[in-house]
Structure 1
Amino acid sequence: MSQTEVELKLLINKKHRQKLKDQVPQLGVTVDEKVLHLRNTYFDTDALQLRQWHMGLRVRNGEGINEQTIKTAGQVSGGLHSRPEYNVPIAGELPDLAQFDSSIWPKNADIAQLQQQLTPLFNTDFTRHLWRLQVEQQQLEVCLDSGAITCNNTELPISEVELELIDDDPAVLFNCATMLAERVPLRLGQESKAKRGYQLAAQAFDAYLTDLDFIQLSDDLSPAQAFKKLVMAGLERWQQLELMLESYPSPSLWQDLRQTLRMLKLVLTQFQQLDEQARQLFAWFEGQLSFVDKASALTYALDINSKSLRKKLDPEQLNAAMSQALANLQLEQRLAGLLEALQYGQLQLQLLKLASIAQIETDSSDLRQHATRFQADSWQKVQQLMPIDTDLDKDDYLAFAAPLEKSLLVGVSYGELYGHAGRDEFRLPWNDMAKGINELACYQAIREQAQAIGVDIEAWLSRKEASLVFAMEQSRRSALVQTPYWQA
């Protein structure tokens, strides 16, 4: 039997499972409710041939179920999973590939040989509380899965909620998920059980994060398509950062998360999709990340190893004060606190809904025209905030940090449409100024901690700041006379 599975996967802390169980029946009329114990064994070859074909093969046993399933390549966007799958009842616990429709396999695949090479890789063993609901004349399944993925005596916990469409109106899916997220802390889950199991089997996890680079847009996209691609790129980066922050809560990752959220807010604003609810959610999140500037400045300050500073005082005394100030920010506890907030999952769901089903109306179908207007508006604001005939001091630059970041993020969103010619050269001095602003913030952090322990290094700090501002002023004046790449 073939079907295309469209489901929304959400993660839930185990302490909130009972609350979720109480809330699900309130979504609609319960058609059926049951609790199943399911054990899945996932199979592949030693060379992971199925994985290379973007397929996943499992055998499910439990509660009168003996079924083999193969999922073929589909799409995972944020937490929305859409993959064709093929289910076949079987008698035992081992898969029989010959029972699947031959059309699902890649051309020239030797299925008999593949069958001989199959081996069990990992298991998922979990309890599924399943509700089938009638919601607004639509059929919806909600599953709460609790258990573990096991491989070679190693376990990963399973605690997730899946909302799966039986009918074909995705608005119902998002509406129900939002109703749950208003009552229970939830967040999007991008990785399937199968992907997590493969990672466990290989003892390798996706933990590499590149810099927030130009998002891959092309002229053949409509503005509406570009909007959805921009939102999805930001949302997927947010989820990747979340995974990394769980094990490495560094200030740089928190700064990346705030930058990603600011980019998402900017895109929604440009396409007139920032309604009052989204505005409030972004404002809440910005407030939750108010510690980021101080954490980044302190971390940068601790990395400074200036000979001239060592002549003034014992650097260990100042470093100890800055280390304590950084520890007081409790970076290790920040993510857990965020994940307990209802607003966290609500914002993720609203963004995913916009990227999946929102109808975006624009006054032109020319994406380049939209991008040029957005960048020109941003450039005009920069020129107004720092006119070329006005001298700026360190306080002016520190106040300019957020507007400059916003302007650079506009370029991240749309810069790929214009190619490399002139673009990177245009952005270079502005990126240098952003780094200079971060360094000024670092000196301010040193000043605050020096004052707190009664050490006078004001003369040294003033000289460092003055030298840096002088260099930034030269870069700014050169940057302001450049011809923007979108006008070239």
Structure 2
Amino acid sequence: MAIETEVKFRMERASWEQIKDDFDRLYQLDHTEEQSNQYFNTKGGELDRLRIGLRLRVVKGRSIVNIKRDTKESHKRQEVEEVYPGTLLALPEHSPILQSLLAEIGCSYGEIVASVAMHTERHVYMIEEKTVKIEVCFDDVTITGNGQEHPLHEVEFELIEGEEDRLLELAEEFRSKYGALVEQSSVSKLAYAIQLVFR
């Protein structure tokens, strides 16, 4: 599995808009994308208990099956994914990574059920320096599940290549600059959403 290295900050919408305006003055927007993210669990809730995220993302005319697991470091997660052309409405039953996960936890495809969903408008900025490439994502998210809807505004610093120390340094500068406007969090979007809709 690959290792995803990122630092997340959550904030109110007004703060998110203010900080995004600052970024627009400092950096060139790389692109904006609309994402549909459906998360899944087993009927018995095994994936939540094991802290495993299973997601089907639809973005830019393709579908991505993604599995994430926590690591001992709060800003890192193990990640594996498969890309399929077109818009899938359900998890592909014969997905190798899905079948491997089901065998690991002792469940069948029929025991997988939809959990929370998220619609995300993502604005992506790239920070490129001699030794590092970092993607900064401004996410405007609507979480749905259990008959509820919740907003989420988040900024993610994700290491694309290069030195992890520089990622952490830039994230600390961001936290210091915006202080009480932002809350640094090691909680994944999925865990945060589950807390909101199933508490």
TM-score by length of 1: 0.37
Q: Which residue of 1 aligns with 2:11?
A: 12
Aligned to 1:95, the other structure's residue is in SS state coil
1:45 to 42, 46, 60: 42
2:155 partner letter? V
In the alignment, residue 72 of structure 1 is paired with which amino acid?
R
For 1:49 and 1:131, the matched residues in 2 are separated by 36
Residue 165 of structure 1 is matched in structure 2 by 159
Match of 2:144 among 133, 146, 150: 150
Distance 1:130 1:27 in 2: 13
Alignment of 1:15-414 (within 5 A): 15-24=14-23, 33-75=30-72, 77=74, 81-90=75-84, 91=86, 92-96=88-92, 98-101=94-97, 105=101, 109-110=105-106, 113-184=107-178, 185-201=181-197, 203-204=198-199
When residues 66 and 143 of structure 1 are mapped into structure 2, their CA distance, relative to the original with a 3 A threshold, is same
Q: Report the CA distance shift for 1:72/1:98 in structure 2 as closer, same or farther (over 3 A).
A: farther
Q: Structure 1's 18 and 53: CA in aligned 2 closer, same or farther, altered over 3 A?
A: closer
Which structure is higher in helix share? 1
- Structure 2 CA distance for partners of 1:118 and 1:101, relative to 1, 3 Å: closer
Higher relative contact order (CA 8 A, sep 6+): 2
Letter of the 1:22 partner, please give it.
D
1:173 to partner: Cα distance = 1.2
* C-alpha spacing 1:101/1:147, structure 2 compared with 1 (3 Å): closer
| Counterpart secondary structure, 1:180 | helix
Counterpart residue number, 1:460: none
Deviations 1:166-205 (A, max 9, x none): 124122112222333344332212321100222344x22x
Q: CA 1:101/1:40 → structure 2, altered by over 3 Å: closer, same or farther?
A: closer
Instruction: Show the counterpart of 2:2.
Output: 3
Q: CA deviation at 1:11?
A: 1.4
Counterpart-to-counterpart distance in 2, 1:192 and 1:33: 24
Structure 2, unpaired ranges of 5+: none
Q: Which amino acid aligns with 1:10?
A: F
State the AA in 2 paired with 1:192: S
| More strand per residue | 2
* 8 A contact 1:20–1:180 mirrored in 2: no
8 A contact 1:23–1:180 mirrored in 2: no
Moved over 6 A (4+): none
Shift of the 154–187 alpha-carbon distance from structure 1 to 2, 3 Å rule, reads: same
1:49-84 Cα deviation digits (max 9, x unpaired): 22233311011113323111011232453xxx2111
Give the letter for the 1:60 counterpart: R
Query: Secondary structure of the equivalent of 1:166?
Result: strand
Letter in 2 for 1:66: S
| Bigger mean CA offset, 92-101 vs 123-132 | 92-101
Paired residue total = 195
Contact 1:130 1:144 in 2 (8 A): yes
Q: Distance in 2 between matches of 1:5 and 1:108?
A: 22
SS of the equivalent of 2:67 reads: strand
1:102 to 1:64, Cα distance in 2 relative to 1, 3 A: closer
Give the superposition deviation at 1:46. Answer: 1.4
Q: Measured at CA, do residues 102 and 59 of structure 1 come closer, stay the same or move farther in structure 2, by a change above 3 Å?
A: closer
In the alignment, structure 1 segments of 5+ residues that lack a partner are: 205-488
Write out per-residue CA displacement over residues 396-424 of structure 1, whole angstroms, 9 at most, x where no aligned residue.
xxxxxxxxxxxxxxxxxxxxxxxxxxxxx
Q: How far 1:159 sits from its partner (Å)?
A: 0.7
Measure the CA separation in 2 of the matches of 1:103 and 1:84.
17
Task: Provide, for residues 438-487 of structure 1, a one-character-per-residue CA deviation record: whole Å limited to 9, x for no partner.
Answer: xxxxxxxxxxxxxxxxxxxxxxxxxxxxxxxxxxxxxxxxxxxxxxxxxx
Contact 1:44–1:121 (8 Å) recurs in 2? yes
C-alpha distance 44-200 of structure 1, shift in aligned 2 (>3 A): same
> For residues 75 and 125 of structure 1, what CA distance do their matches in structure 2 show?
29
Aligned-pair CA distance for 1:15: 0.9
Letter in 1 for 2:91: P
Considering only aligned residues, what root-mean-square deviation do their CA atoms show, in Å?
A: 2.6
